[in-house]
């Protein structure tokens, strides 16, 4: 795909289902759960500063997106309902998350199982206000 093919033609946040719909000019459409976007945040807080420094994100099942801001002409920055807002999602990274969703989600679920961790929040859940 060319660089322009990585730029979505439409992005729509669905608050009720806590998902981001991403569409491309080619006709492809993807539903990315907010939890998935949060646990695969490109931020150093999640990815660490090098291989092997990744931090498993737990308790994110109910997380939503409260704001979406463009970053230049190349990326988006999300604010999540748990306060996380430091990852910059380039168009290429968003496309990778779309194309690799099944594999990445399966890897995440496996990591959670191995760690004996839960996707459910352990404390009070912050619910994003509907606008």
What is the pLDDT confidence band of residue 123, given thresholds at 50, 70 and 90?
low
For 104-121, write each residue's pLDDT tens digit: 999 999 999 999 999 998
pTM, whole model, 2 decimals? Answer: 0.88
pLDDT for 96 beyond 80: yes
- CATH architecture of the domain formed by 3-115: 2-Layer Sandwich (3.30)
Q: Which long-range contacts (CB under 8 A, 24 or more apart) does 8-11 make?
A: 8/91, 8/94, 8/95, 11/68, 11/76
What element of type H or E holds 78? Answer: strand 75-80
What are the residue ranges spanned by the domains of the chain?
Answer: 3-115
- Measured CA to CA, the distance from residue 53 to residue 113 in angstroms comes to 19
């Amino acid at each position: 795909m060319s660089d322009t093919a990585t730029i979505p033609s439409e992005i729509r946040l669905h608050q009720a289902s806590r998902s981001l719909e991403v569409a491309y000019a080619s006709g492809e459409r993807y539903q990315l759960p907010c939890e998935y976007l949060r646990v695969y945040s490109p931020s150093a807080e999640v990815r660490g500063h090098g291989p092997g420094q990744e931090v498993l994100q737990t308790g994110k099942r109910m997380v939503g997106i409260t704001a979406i801001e463009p970053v230049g002409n190349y990326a988006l920055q999300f604010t999540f309902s748990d306060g996380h807002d430091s990852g910059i999602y380039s168009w290429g990274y968003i496309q990778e998350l779309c194309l690799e969703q099944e594999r990445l989600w399966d890897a995440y679920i496996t990591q959670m199982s191995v760690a004996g961790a839960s996707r459910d929040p352990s404390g009070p859940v912050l619910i994003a206000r509907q606008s």
